[in-house]
Structure 1
């Protein structure tokens, strides 16, 4: 470009000189008596004519044209661009019952329709803890599954051995990844939850679904106790829990009466800490913290409930769900994904009206704990990693997400899917009540 300007400058200079020369030549012609000036006329043909024929400068400009086209910035090839995806991969998950059936249908459709000939085998490997324990001894070996369900803390543990694939290159790949429009369609809080600052902001998982900690409550029992609605503050929660303990529900199908049962769980601890305005992670020092003022206040509150005889610990798996369904337990706190199971427990038990609400809080607005296991890709070979990503991309696509949200009762991770759930919301008002609280959600660290 600089040569172009140089050429134009020279060209203009030449024209100016030529124009000046022409003016000098015309003056002698006008003054006829001055014959001695004739030689100047000859100079007209000699002076700047050759300079005007500096055609090579024109050629220089022509040569520059292709150079301008070459300046177009090319997108660098990604690390997986030349890879052919593996043909057979394995997916370890925890889903059972109707959810597993729906997942197998999704997998079967992918196997039949994907253009690369990839076959995914989805295997139930037990619960989250079972999968975690099976993963630890096989990290960085050929025996790892290609896709594994894992909570963020589990994935972080795996990555201490540098054993997980950073999905950022795949997500951003011009050939295999997501468009800007597709990325914008994900709920930001869900989408960013698998990016780990402690591991150089690597994306060590991808969200296929999310759920939220909610408070389940027996609407009929609350009305019997003389209250207008569910509690919104810890003080109201305690008042109602203690009232329920002293006044059994008239429709109960089993003996006993209790206000609240607490299960020992990391998410439960986080949920109550959030409700008291705190967090379980110290972002300034990049470490988990369980002794903040809010955490201590929340635990003291729960301890007081136990001391008053208005709360107990859950002593068997899903025992609080069973007691709630029988009408012997007023409140439980658990995942919104458990709504179908609560519906079954209530239908098989005391058959009362129930719903979900925010965990009672000291903050001006609710602070809801959003969490969920993601799907991660253990390190293996580029071919296996690429095939795993292509299934994950399909699994989280709009069409599949719509089916999965309805089948699993999890929250979808894409905005466009949520917008199309109108009929499902009408048919499932409790799910809608939970969904409406997403605006108050924060991601569990």
Structure 2
């Protein structure tokens, strides 16, 4: 009897028992059950050999499978996913990216998705970006930034809208940002000096540009990165925050030496100085500074004549130290070094010239520019962004104009070392969509076409080398600008650290005391260094 029949017979016995029980029969049931049991036992004896043989076959098959497990994938690799799909990733994880390529970028993400989201998947349609800046609408810079914004809004393929907002000067914007970091009322883009950005990041208020710059779709290629002036990019890498970039540069300015070329020529022709053209070394500079006191400019009909009026601010201090091969900040130690040998040398140089009456303090804001335009001082040191104002001042000045230009700060180094500075644009922490949209606007602003527009309207220097190719006409009309532009490869920057705003105030006080009040140089610089590092410690993250 087969197993199938055996099981069928058992089923019939059970059904019969249930029917008889329902009918109230008892003895009949017992007899039927006994007969069925006997038949089942006989059937079981018949199929037992078959069952045993089947069991032995199963055991042998199991033993063979256990002995050769490694051969199974090689024998039937195509069938394995169908038989055991859940096990395939564990057995062959290297093949998974090929099967599901959409998941591969996530495996390579090296940024915090809780801050940036998944950049590849963000929907930017309808995103609005608020930009706090300092450019008044009726100014040339305000008109240019509005044009740049309008161009982006009209042409970007993402559906992003940027809204520019004039929020006052740098100080006003800084105060609003500090307050906004507490209340949450912050823009999507904000103009900020590097030390201000560091202060915002102390409060965890910004996002780094690094994930955007490095992104394969939205970022910058190696070729584009190389087109930027590297000193511009380096300035935004904050040492207190792992060297990450918390700003991006649309432009920069530079500390330069303004000089009266006609007056210098008169001094050279008379033998009052031993060189021609602008001074290149501190010794030549000192020679001309003092010669100007004794030999006024021929067009100056007043009794006042001086070599230079010195603006004792922190950028001027840094420029003098840089020009001697020094620095004001030790990036490895993370501390200010205002008492370095180069700083002592620079302050000694200026203190001696002040004692001789060859340089004077600035009497009022922009007073040095005014006296320069009127032919009363031979030199002054200031920002290249002031070039248009100097030009108009000289043309409308008391002496009827003269030839003038700019030069590198006289230096002891083989090549010039120029103090380059300027505000960048930071991205406050908002939403992943708004942050990415903000970056895309910055890419637009720093494109060659927009950089040319911005440079010529603002008189700032563009952030990229290649922009010069389209500025030949502007260079021809503004020779001093071109001279300064050619000095950009020699740039160096001041400390981009939190607390530098307050440090600058301390520097100015020490600078005045040393140069014009005759304070002891070494002890004053030692005290300044201590104060600066205390301020940094109080402001540090």
TM-score (ref. length: structure 1)? 0.81
User: Which protein has the larger Cα radius of gyration, Structure 1 or Structure 2?
Assistant: 2
State how far apart, in whole Å, the 1-side matches of 2:123 and 2:314 are: 41
Equivalent-residue separation in structure 1 for 2:73 and 2:131 (angstroms): 67
1:60 to 61, 72, 77: 77
1:91 aligns with 2:131: yes
SS of the aligned residue for 1:126 comes to coil
Task: Name 2:470's counterpart in structure 1.
Answer: 420
| 1:89–1:120 CA contact under 8 A, matched in 2 | yes
Aligned match for 1:215, one of 257, 273, 283: 257
**Contact 2:239–2:331 (CA under 8 A) maintained in structure 1:** no
Q: Name which of structure 1's ranges 106-115 and 160-169 shifts more when overlaid on structure 2.
A: 106-115
Which SS does the other structure have where 2:132 is aligned?
A: strand
Q: How many Å apart are 1:423 and its aligned residue?
A: 3.1
From 360, 380, 389, the counterpart of 1:341: 389
Instruction: Provide the C-alpha distance between the structure 2 equivalents of 1:353 and 1:397, rounded to a whole number of angstroms.
Output: 35
Structure 2 contact 97–104 (Cα < 8 Å) conserved: no
- The residue that corresponds to 2:158 in the other structure is 116
- Paired residues in the alignment total 392
Alpha-carbon distance, 1:254 to partner: 6.0
1:180 is matched with: 222
Q: Which runs of 4+ in 1 moved over 6 A?
A: 61-68
Residue number among 185, 191, 202 corresponding to 1:160 in the alignment = 202
Contact preservation (8 Å) 2:133, 2:190: yes
Corresponding position of 1:74: 104
Aligned 8 A contact 1:379 1:385 in 2: yes
Query: Equivalent residues in 2 for 1:189-200 (5 A)?
Result: 189-200=231-242
Distance 1:392 1:223, change over 3 A: same
> Does the aligned pair in 2 maintain the 1:261–1:311 contact within 8 Å?
yes
Quote the residue 2:447 is aligned against.
397
Q: What's the TM-score, normalizing by structure 2?
A: 0.67
Change (3 A) 1:427 1:195: same
Structure 2 vs 1, CA of residues 138 and 225 (structure 1 numbering), >3 Å: closer, same or farther? same
Q: CA RMSD in A?
A: 2.6
Which one of 245, 252, 263 corresponds to residue 203 of structure 1? 245
Deviation of 1:325 after TM superposition, in Å, equals 0.9
The 3-state SS of whatever aligns with 1:145 is coil
- 1:204-225 Cα offsets, whole Å, 9 max, x none, are 0000011221100000111122
Partner of 1:436: 486
- Superimposed CA distance per residue, residues 136-169 of structure 1 (whole angstroms, 9 cap, x where no aligned partner): 2222533222211111111112221111111212
Instruction: Give the match for residue 40 of structure 1.
Output: none
Contact 1:141 1:380 survives alignment (8 Å): no
CA distance in 1, matches of 2:460, 2:337: 29
CA distance 1:254–1:61, change in 2 (3 Å): farther
| Structure 1: runs of 5 or more not aligned | 1-53
**Matches of residues 38-437 of structure 1 in structure 2 within 5 Å?**
57=74, 59-60=76-77, 69-70=98-99, 74-76=104-106, 79=117, 80-85=119-124, 87-96=127-136, 97-226=139-268, 227=273, 228-252=276-300, 256-349=304-397, 350=399, 351-437=401-487
1:12 alignment counterpart: none
Structure 2 Cα separation of the partners of residues 87 and 60 of structure 1: 49
Q: Deviations over 1:94-136 (max 9, x none)?
A: 2352122111111122222223333323233333233223322
Q: 1:305/1:190 Cα in 2 relative to 1: closer, same or farther (>3 Å)?
A: same
- Preserved CA contact (<8 Å) 1:212 1:369: yes
Shift of 1:67: 6.6
- Secondary structure, counterpart of 1:144 in structure 2: coil
Given that 2:387 and 2:481 are in contact with CA atoms closer than 8 Å, whether structure 1 keeps it comes out as: yes
Does the residue aligned with 1:166 lie in a helix, a strand or coil? coil
- Whether the 8 Å contact between 2:279 and 2:285 is mirrored in structure 1 is yes
Q: Secondary structure at the match of 2:159?
A: coil
Are the counterparts in 2 of residues 261 and 331 from structure 1 also a CA contact under 8 Å? yes
Could you tell me how far 1:255 is from its partner in structure 2? 5.6
Q: Secondary structure at the match of 2:216?
A: coil
In the superposition, relative to structure 1, how do residues 375 and 57 fare at CA in structure 2: closer, same or farther (>3 Å)?
A: closer
Partner Cα separation in structure 1 for residue 362 and residue 416 of structure 2: 25
Q: 1:68 to 1:60 in 2, by over 3 A?
A: farther
